[in-house]
């Protein structure tokens, strides 16, 4: 049955969908993993990155430029948001959820005011298909697979093999202790948020050519990214596994039924997975677990008392 349903094209669809999901979720995962903050403005940051890509296209620049520009716009926006908003809410994770939901709405409103609500079309930097020997497949979607692999490798390398990753992990494990060892934990948090926002911008620039670009486009991406990050919980390896599995499942269900039913797949799988494995995939032994973005025990999202109404 499976053999009949999955041909080479479909297999590549499943792979590239997983890769795309990994790219979309990575910025959210970095912020959640290192700061224990769920950034609900992630979808709107993706949207802003996509508009950056659209502006590049509108100025007839090379489409490849969209990627670094998306990153730069995300980082800059991340800096402003961290200073104005996130910094004031450290230790109030539930209020951070609310504030970032509000931020998302603000970004949607601003983009609607500046660029209007209509769809924008953005060209791909790579058109046509590549011949893989066994199949011909969209070159841009294959590029996304390569990009996701590179992104995974860099994230894994930075968190596990560099001094930067070590410092960041020290701050997560015990911020006070890290600060007494001369680590500027505020700077670590600020940079983490900026990088996370930058990755959202890159994701936006990368999806712009294959999706519709309009102010509300981020909502569905946010939901998918949020679900995958909840399942991955704290490890880079877990994020890759969750993205590949769920992306493949979504693609397969879409193929069998309709895109709407397909879009529900990730949500349903997440609700079930988290019920069975409260710590998500980080409870499994996965590559990157020892260099987890976040230690498994300890700093879970606290229950409301921390920022309960006083």
Partner 1 sequence: MTADAARLRLGRLVAARSLAPKLGLLGVGVVAMAIAPSLVSTHYEDLLVQSFIYAIFAISFDLLWGYTGVLSLGHSAFFGVGGYVIGVSATQLGHGTEGIAIGIAGGVAGAVILALAVGWVAFYSRVTPIYIAVITLSLALVLSRLAALTSFTALSDYTGGYNGLSFILTSWPITSWYWLCGIALVVLTVLALVLVRSDFGRVLIGVRDNERRLAYLGYDVPRLKLTVFTLSAAIAALAGAAYASYLDFASPDLLGLTVATNVLIIVSIGGRGTIIGPVVGAIIIGLVGPTVSDRWPEYWQLVLGALFVAIVIFLPRGLWGAITDGAKTLRPLLRRALPAEQPRTRLVPTEWTQPRRARAAEHGASLARFVNLRKSFGSLHVLRGVDLDVRGGEILCVIGPNGAGKSTLINVVTDSRELSDGEIVFDGQRSVGLPPARIARRGVGRTFQGTNLMETYTVGDSLFIAGRRGSIPSLWRRTHDIPLNEEVATLDAATGLADVVDVRVSDLSHGKRQALELSMALALEPQVLLLDEPTAGLTDEERSIVGPLLRELAARGIGIVLVEHDLDFVRAITDRVAVLHQGRVEVVGPVEEVVGSPLVREIYLGVKS
Residues that bind partner 1 (CB under 8 A): 38, 85, 88-89, 92, 94-95, 97-99, 101-103, 105-106, 108-110, 112-113, 219, 223, 226-227, 230, 257-258, 260-261, 263-264, 267-268, 270-271, 274-275, 278-279, 297, 300-305, 307-310
Per DSSP, the residues of 238-287 read HHHHHHHHHHHHHHHHHHHS-HHHHHHHHHHHHHHHHHH-TTGGGGS--T
Rounded to whole angstroms, the Cα distance separating 32 from 189 reads 11
Q: Name the minimum Å distance from CB 92 to partner 1.
A: 8
Cβ proximity to partner 1: between 37 and 67 the closer is: 37
Q: Name the minimum Å distance from CB 213 to partner 1.
A: 17
- The conformation of residue 213, written as its DSSP 8-state character, comes to B
Q: Name the minimum Å distance from CB 225 to partner 1.
A: 13
Q: What angle do CA 45, 47, 51 make, to 5 degrees?
A: 115
Q: Name the minimum Å distance from CB 44 to partner 1.
A: 10
Cβ proximity to partner 1: between 72 and 274 the closer is: 274
Rounded to whole angstroms, the Cα distance separating 117 from 220 reads 17
Query: What are phi and psi for residue 120, nearest 5 degrees?
Result: -115, 145
Rounded to whole angstroms, the Cα distance separating 210 from 20 reads 11
Cβ proximity to partner 1: between 98 and 153 the closer is: 98
Residue 95: other Cβ atoms inside 10 A: 14
Q: Name the minimum Å distance from CB 153 to partner 1.
A: 28
Q: Name the minimum Å distance from CB 181 to partner 1.
A: 22
Cβ proximity to partner 1: between 126 and 223 the closer is: 223
Cβ proximity to partner 1: between 115 and 143 the closer is: 115
Max CA separation in the chain (angstroms): 65
Q: Name the minimum Å distance from CB 203 to partner 1.
A: 20
Which value, to the nearest 10 degrees, does the dihedral of the CA atoms of residues 168, 173, 174, 180 take?
Answer: -40
Cβ proximity to partner 1: between 88 and 161 the closer is: 88
Cβ proximity to partner 1: between 173 and 264 the closer is: 264
The tokens of 128 are what?
């046509």
């Amino acid at each position: 049955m499976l053999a009949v349903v999955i041909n080479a094209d479909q297999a590549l669809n499943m792979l590239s969908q997983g890769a795309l999901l990994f790219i979309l979720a990575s910025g959210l995962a970095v912020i959640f993993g290192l700061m224990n903050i769920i950034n609900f403005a992630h979808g709107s940051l993706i949207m802003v990155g996509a508009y950056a890509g659209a502006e590049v296209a509108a100025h007839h620049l090379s489409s490849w430029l969209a990627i670094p520009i998306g990153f730069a716009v995300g980082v800059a926006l991340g800096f402003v948001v961290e200073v104005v908003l996130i910094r004031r809410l450290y230790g109030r994770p539930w209020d951070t959820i609310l504030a970032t939901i509000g931020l998302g709405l603000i970004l949607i409103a601003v983009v609607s005011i500046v660029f209007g609500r209509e769809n924008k079309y953005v060209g791909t930097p790579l058109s046509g298909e590549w011949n893989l020997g066994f199949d011909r497949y969209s070159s841009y979607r294959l590029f996304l697979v390569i990009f996701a692999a590179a992104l995974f490798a860099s994230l894994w390398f930075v968190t596990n093999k560099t001094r930067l990753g070590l410092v960041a992990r020290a701050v997560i494990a015990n911020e006070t202790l890290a600060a007494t060892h001369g680590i500027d934990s505020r700077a670590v948090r600020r940079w983490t948020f900026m990088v996370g926002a930058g990755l959202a911008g890159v994701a936006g620039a990368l999806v712009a050519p294959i999706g519709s670009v309009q102010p509300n486009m981020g909502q569905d991406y946010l939901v998918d990214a949020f679900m995958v990050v909840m399942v991955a919980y704290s490890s880079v390896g877990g994020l890759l596994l969750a993205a590949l599995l769920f992306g493949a499942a979504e693609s397969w269900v879409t193929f069998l039924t309709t895109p709407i039913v397909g879009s529900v797949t990730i949500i349903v799988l997440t609700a079930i997975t988290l019920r069975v494995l409260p710590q998500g995939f980080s409870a499994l032994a996965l590559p990157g677990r020892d260099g987890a973005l976040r230690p498994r025990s300890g700093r879970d999202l606290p229950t409301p008392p921390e920022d309960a109404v006083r």
